[in-house]
Every structure is written in structure tokens, then in C-alpha cells.
Structure 1
Amino acid sequence: MAELVRNKQVILKDFVSGFPKETDMYMTESSIELKVPKGSNGVLLKNLYLSCDPYMRPRMTYIEGSYVESFKPGLPISGYGVAKVLDSENPEFSKGDLVWGMTGWEEYSLITAPYLFKIQHTDVPLSYYTGILASGAVGQLVGQFAKLLGCYVVGSAGSKDKVDLLKNKFGFDEAFNYKEEADLNAALKRYFPEGIDVYFENVGGKTLDAVLPNMKIRGRIAACGMISQYNLDKPEGVHNLMYLVSKRLRMEGFIVLDHYHLYPKFLEMIIPHIKEGKLVYVEDMAEGLESAPAALIGLFSGQNVGKQVVAVAPE
């Protein structure tokens, strides 16, 4: 008979309106057999690290037609994580494999439709597969990638410490605290007197509205996310969209799921940069599954410094 163990889990209580709270989630304990049912194509995982990401906030609300499924109240929430395979009925995975991909916010997960990638490079920290080597940590990395390509890079952040981090650790040319700027339009003119060639959009709202008039003709906007809007019942309007026409701008959204076929090529590029110290990566590590709800909620008030990770059972 298979071993039966206790399995701590983080459960979504109900769909969320407005700013999420820790009490919108609760800890519970179930039991799980450390064996995959025969013929199920399933994989049993021991979760090691979990990723906290802004896109998880919309999943706490029912949104019709979203690119990613909403969480189900009463069930464990899910997200990207790093795990070890304990048992497998799937021919692509074997006991002992280290993997990253979609898993549950729990100690053990039985994944019946695996959306997982085998970890080939174990000479870097495994937690990196929740961020720099998979998804997330976008703000700190996109500017460094741009610097590697020879760009002039300016970042914005919500505290003096984070501004210092962007300039002194990540190597951005300039950075400013958007909370201290009475006029975002004037701030952008100060840093980009000749206009902006490329804007990486991860904020939305007032920031996007200020960026549009400051773009150069035929500038490009890569839309990755809009974190300023995720906790609003009614998203803010953007008033300067006519600049898309007058400046002949190109604004396009993208989702990482569309580009996983390029993942091997990405690893070829980034692993040497990490080992050679050409990329700096900062993690904010919360210890224990119990700390996961607070870590996730903290994203939306800027409490994390660096990529927010939860260590469930580090190797």
C-alpha cells in the first residue's frame, strides 16, 4: 500500500473584489498517497519553490475569456513552481527528475495534465527557475537585457531603495521614484528629452498615459502587464491613445505561453550571462508554505525587493 502523508495547502476562500487580503486565502491540511494511479498519465510532485507573480491577482476573480484560468474557490491556488518528481505514470518524466512549471500551492501536487519542463542545468540555484530562468522578475531583467544590447535605460520604482537598486546594482542609466513625481509627463521629458524609442509596459494607468505623448515617432510599446489596474473593480481610462495614431506607434501585447518553443534558445543565451556575472538577479525569499499568502499580497503594495519566491521544501 502506498504511503499516505499530510499535505498542507493554500486555498482560495472565494473570488476577490478590490485589493486582496491574506484572509482571502486560508491554510488547510489534507492527505495524499505518494503514488500515482496506474494508467493516469499523472506526475506526483514534491514542491520546492513557488513563484509569486502579479498575474495571479486576476486569477482570484472570475474573468471570462482570460488567457489563464481563474482559481476555483475551495481549491488550492496554483502557479509556477519548482518541484521534484516522486512518482510518474507519464513517459516524459521519471522519479527523481527536477522540473519547473504549473503546480499547486501545497507541499505535494498530483498533476494529471503536466505542464512541466525538465530542469537540465542544476549548476545554478533551483529557485532561479521561478524567475530569471522561467517567468517573473520582469522589471529587473528587462532593463539589464536592454543594457546588454547597448540601450540607454531608465526605470521607475516606488521607493528610494528600489531606485538605488535599479541604478547601482542592475546598471540602469537612470531611475526615478514615481511616487515622488508630481508630474509624470515632466519626469519623462527630463529623462527622455528626445523621446522614448521603446517602452516596456508593465504598469498601465497613469504611467501609460504619461508615456504616450513622450514616445518618438514610430516608437514601440511591448505590453507585458498592467499591475496598477489589477485591484480596481473598474480599470482607469487611458486618455492619450490618439498618440498611437499621430506618432504611428506600435503597441502589442504578448504572453509568455506563446514563446515556450524558444526556451532552449533562451537558456543558451542567459546561462552564460549568469555564470559570467553579466546579469544581476535579486530574490526576496519567504520561508515556508505558511508565508505564501502574505508574500503574494505583498506584491501589490511593493513590499518585495526582487523576485518574490516562497521556499516550501528547498533541496
Structure 2
Amino acid sequence: MMKTILLNNRPKGKPTTSNFEFVEENKILTVNEGEILLEAKYVSVDPYLRGRMSDAKSYVPPFELNKPVQSGIVAKVIVSNNDKFLEGQYVSGLLNWQTQQVSTGVGLTKIDETKAPLSAFLGILGMTGLTAYLGLNEIGKPKAGETIVVSGAAGAVGSVVGQIAKILGLNVIGIAGTDEKIELLKSKFGFDAGINYNTSTNIDADLKELAPNGVDIYFDNVGGPISDAVLFNINRFARIIICGAISVYNETETPKSVSVQPFLVKNSALMQGFIVSNYADKFPEATQQLTSWLSVSKLTYTETIVEGFDNIPNAFIDLFDGKNKGKMIVKI
């Protein structure tokens, strides 16, 4: 029985399970010459998928209604009529939310499962790790001794950013939503300090205490009031890296925020958004460095693994309530 998850309708505000439709088909897929049959093993759910569920103009086309949702997936080659792929191999790539599907192999990356567990290729050795490494280095231009603040710090990207910053000799402050996550940042990921935005009465004041010499780099995963508070603490020539804005993805009205221009002008600061594919030519060297650090335990990672294909939508929705520690992955 082959299962597929379709986008049933476009979310208004926070997504719900009613935005998705489950389809089951009792059929055998045909694998033609040059094609491979894939069986999904691990599915990545990520905040950016929310943007593709709306029909607003963006850097990538929206998902079509009544068509399968797509995300990063690790799959096993079950049948191969393509001499570039062997049966039994594992691959990763942007694939449909389906238990099985046919592919030409275009856009797929072969996985060496001896390097790390399969799920890691959706996280620290996949787009998550690449986003952290390339955003920090290409825009942040980190220098030893500087101070970096990371929002969404206990999430998939944020937790890797903080670790890389520590490897490079920075003072690292993370912002997350529970005391448990703050402790995780310090005990497992090596952050120097953390702020719980749900219990803090004044994030601006907390940052002034933790970073008395100001903030040189801000890696922003959340947007909203948290990011406003960081602006009051940036140094001259600060670099602000805009990776995401999960706090406002589900807003139905235009969010109100402080005007960033005075902060940027006063401090000659840089604010730049990015998508990881901007740096596709640097993927090989970034992957090599991440793999090297992981192999010598300079990097570690945390995953929140949900089991069962039918739970993919719920796992995705849980991202917006901060129920994940590290990378959120569904094991099929």
C-alpha cells in the first residue's frame, strides 16, 4: 500500500491537519529505463515549508494544491534501472511525501552511511548544517573574540551555528524558549550563556548583562520582538544574518516591528537575508568541513524523531510550538 500526503488547502495562520489529505493506493509503480524506485526512510520537516504552503511570491514556487508536499528525504533504492544507482543504496534529496516514488535520480545525493546515521544527512550533514556553516561564514565573517547571539538556538540550525562559532573562538549567547533548552545549549552545545525568552522580562537588559561589550554578529532564526531586542545591543560594523522568521510565519496581518534603519546607519551594520542555495558552489567544502568536525567530536547534534508516515503533518505543526530540540525528523 503506497501512501501520499497532499496539500489539501492553504493554511490561514498556523497550519492544521485539515490542510493535508492522505491518499492510499494499492498499486505497483513502474520503473522505466533510467529510473529508480525509492522507499522513504526519514523525512525532514522544516519551518520554511510554511512559506511554500501559501501562494505569496517567494524565492521558490508554492506547493500546488492537491499535489504531494515535498521536503528533504532520505530514501533507499529498492529497484534500479539506472546504472548510476545501485539497489540498496541510500540517497537524499527533495522528494514527495510518499512512502514510495519513482525518480530519474536527478538532484539526488548518494549517502555514505558509514560516515554517520542516516538521519544526520537531513540535519547536521545536510541542509541544516550547510545553512548554519555558510550563513555564519559567508555573511557573519566571524572573528575570534567576537560575541554572537543566536535566536532559535535550540533548533536544528541554531544549535549548529553556536557550535561552529565556539570552534572559531567566539563568545556565544543563545536564545530559546525553555529552561531545559537553555541548559541543553550550555551543557551539550557549548554555548556560553542563554536567555529564556518566555521567562525573561527584558531581553534587551539581559543581553546588556551577558554581552556588556555588545553584539558583533546576530544569527536570526525567529524575527519579531526577540530580534528587536538584539538590535539595541549591536556593535559598530555588526553583521545581522537573517536565516528565518518563524515567529511571524503564521501571522495573518503584517507584523509590527521597530524600524531597523536607525540601528544599521548608526552602527554601519550589515543586515542580509539568504537562502542556502545562494552558496551551492561551496556545498562540497562545507560538507567536508562539517564531516571532519563531526568525526572528531567537535560537533554534535540533537534530533527529535517522530515515528510513522502518518505523523508527518503533526511533526511539522509542532515546529511552531517549539516542541523540537534540534532537528525534527520523521522516521518511516
- In the superposition, the TM-score normalised over structure 1's length comes to 0.91
- Which residue is equivalent to 2:9? 14
Could you say if the C-alpha distance between residues 201 and 90 of structure 1 is closer, same or farther in structure 2, counting changes exceeding 3 Å?
Answer: farther
Q: Look up the match of 2:44.
A: 51
Please say if residues 288 and 310 of structure 1, whose CA atoms lie closer than 8 Å, have aligned partners that are also in contact: yes
- 1:169/1:68 CA distance change after superposition, 3 Å: same
Deviation at 1:215, TM superposition (A): 0.4
1:173-226 CA-partner distances (Å, limit 9, x unpaired): 001101112222212212111110000011111122111121001100111111
Match of 2:300, as an amino acid?
V
Within-5 A mapping of 1:140-289: 140-241=159-260, 242-289=262-309
Alignment of 1:16-55 (within 5 A): 16-38=11-33, 42-55=35-48
Task: Name the stretch that deviates more: 267-276 or 215-224.
Answer: 267-276
Provide the aligned length of Structure 1 versus Structure 2.
304
**Contact between 2:92 and 2:121, CA under 8 Å: does it hold in 1?**
yes
SS in 2 for 1:264: helix
What is aligned with 2:77?
Answer: 85
Answer yes or no: is the 8 Å Cα contact 1:35–1:87 preserved in 2: no
**Which secondary structure does the structure 1 equivalent of 2:92 belong to?**
strand
The CA deviation at 1:63 is: 1.5
- Could you tell which deviates more after superposition, 25-34 or 172-181? 25-34
User: What SS does the corresponding residue of 1:153 show, helix, strand or coil?
Assistant: strand
Alpha-carbon contact 1:213-1:240 (below 8 Å) kept? no
Q: Deviations over 1:16-50 (max 9, x none)?
A: 11011122223221245343234xx5443111100
Cα deviation for residue 82 of structure 1 reads: 0.5
> Residues of 1 paired with 2:75 and 2:27: CA distance?
16
Gap regions ≥5 residues in structure 1 = 1-5
Are 1:308 and 2:328 an aligned pair?
Answer: yes
Residue matched to 2:99:
107
Paired residue type of 1:26? E
> Could you tell me how far apart the structure 1 residues matched to 2:79 and 2:279 are?
29
Quick one: distance in 1 between partners of 2:100 and 2:173? Answer: 42
Partners of 2:40 and 2:113 in 1: CA distance: 18
Alpha-carbon offset, residue 121 of structure 1: 4.9
Q: Which one-letter code corresponds to 2:22 in the other structure?
A: M
User: In 2, Cα distance between the equivalents of 1:239 and 1:26?
Assistant: 39
How far 1:90 sits from its partner (Å)? Answer: 5.2
Match of 1:72 among 54, 64, 70: 64
Counterpart of 2:76, as a letter, is K
Counterpart contact for 1:42–1:114, Cα < 8 Å:
no
Q: C-alpha distance in 1, partners of 2:238/2:248? A: 24
Shift of 1:77: 0.8
What is the RMSD computed on CA atoms of the aligned residues? 1.8
| 1:127 alignment counterpart | 119
C-alpha contact 1:34 1:86 (8 A) present in aligned 2? no
Counterpart of 1:3 in structure 2 is none
Q: Distance in 2 between matches of 1:234 and 1:42?
A: 45
What is the alpha-carbon distance in structure 2 between the residues aligned to residue 118 and residue 234 of structure 1?
42
- Percent same amino acid at aligned positions? 39
Is residue 296 of structure 1 aligned with residue 289 of structure 2?
A: no
Give the C-alpha shift of residue 105 in structure 1.
Answer: 1.0
Work out the CA distance in 2 between the residues paired with 1:67 and 1:86. Answer: 33
Q: CA deviation at 1:92?
A: 4.3
- Asked if 1 retains the 8 angstrom alpha-carbon contact of 2:195 and 2:203, the reply is no
Q: Relative to 1, partners in 2 of residues 1:287 and 1:97: Cα closer, same or farther, differing over 3 Å?
A: same
Q: Which moved more, 1:184-193 or 1:247-256?
A: 184-193
Q: Deviations over 1:91-114 (max 9, x none)?
A: 644433321110111101223573
Task: Report how far residue 228 of structure 1 moved.
Answer: 0.6
What code does the residue aligned with 2:23 have?
A: T
2 CA distance for matches of 1:95 and 1:144? Answer: 36
* 1:16 maps to amino acid: P
Question: How far 1:171 sits from its partner (Å)?
Answer: 0.8
What TM-score comes out, normalization by structure 2 length?
Answer: 0.86
Give, in whole Å, the separation in 2 of the partners of 1:96 and 1:51: 21
Alpha-carbon shift at residue 135 of structure 1 (Å): 1.8
SS in structure 1 at match of 2:171: coil
